Amino acid sequence: MLTEVTERALALTRARHLLLVGGVACEWRLQEMLQTMCRARGAELCPVDDRYCIDNGAMIAQAGWEMLRAGQVTELSQSGITQRYRTDEVEVTWRD
């Protein structure tokens, strides 16, 4: 399904490069399927190195910014570091 949707996006945008990032980029089978699709469309697949595929730093920073703007602050003594922090598990209190 991801390959099909991506192929449609490439066709619509007429892009010649496909940048694959995030946790999904670690999935070798998906990379294979996207590589096959890109070759068929004359595009180049550009997967990010595995070392950088699990870092969602920008999404984490945005979630933190939205929390701060809403007045949701965590005391330093109550905070911690989670390497594989999932932004979809954050309780959203800054939207209606």
Measured between alpha carbons, how far is 12 from 74 in angstroms, rounded to an integer?
43
* Residue 13: band (very low, low, confident or very high) from pLDDT cuts 50, 70, 90: very high
Is 80 a domain residue?
no
Q: Is 5 left (phi over 0), alpha (psi -120 to 50) or beta?
A: alpha
Is 7 a domain residue?
yes
pTM score:
0.57
Is 36 a domain residue?
yes
pLDDT single digits (tens) 34-51: 999 999 999 999 998 877
Is 91 a domain residue?
no
Is 77 a domain residue?
no
pLDDT in the model for residue 41: 94
Is 95 a domain residue?
no
**Parent domain of 49:** 1-55
Is 11 a domain residue?
yes
For the chain, the domain total comes to 1
